[in-house]
Amino acid sequence: MTKGHRITIEEGTDPVRVTHQGQVVAESSRPLLLRETGYPVRYYLPPEDVRTDLLTPSETHTYCPFKGTASYWSLPEAADAVWGYPDPKPEVAQIKNHFCFYEVDAL
């Protein structure tokens, strides 16, 4: 990590839920909480807890020098609403193949 930039990942203890257009898209009692300097806490959810049948792969990819290359998925009428790191950098290997959503509700 560069000076002043920090990422920590911990196992969450509180359940979280993601809804879209009134439908539950994901619900997990085992989210990973990623805290990164300058950003809000992000919840990375295991694929078993995500309705992947509702996700459509996107052509969008972004690069983070700390996490690696992100892939994106869209929900109906919500382009690039979900992202994840299929091959993250070793320092954040825990988030591999987990899904992150812009809007997550703590239960």
Q: What ranges do the domains of the chain cover? A: 7-106
Give me the count of residues in the chain.
107
Per-residue pLDDT tens digits of the chain, which is 107 residues long: 557 799 999 999 899 999 999 999 999 999 999 999 999 999 999 999 999 999 999 999 999 999 999 999 999 999 999 999 999 999 999 999 999 998 777 65
Residue 87: how many other CB atoms lie within 10 Å: 10
Q: What is the rounded end-to-end Cα distance, in angstroms, of the chain?
A: 32
Q: Please state the pTM of the whole predicted model.
A: 0.91
How far is Cα of residue 30 from the mean position of the Cα atoms in its chain?
13
7-106: what fold? 2.170.150
Distance CA(101)–CA(65), nearest Å, equals: 20
Q: How far, rounded to the nearest angstrom, does the alpha carbon of residue 67 sit from its chain's CA centroid?
A: 12
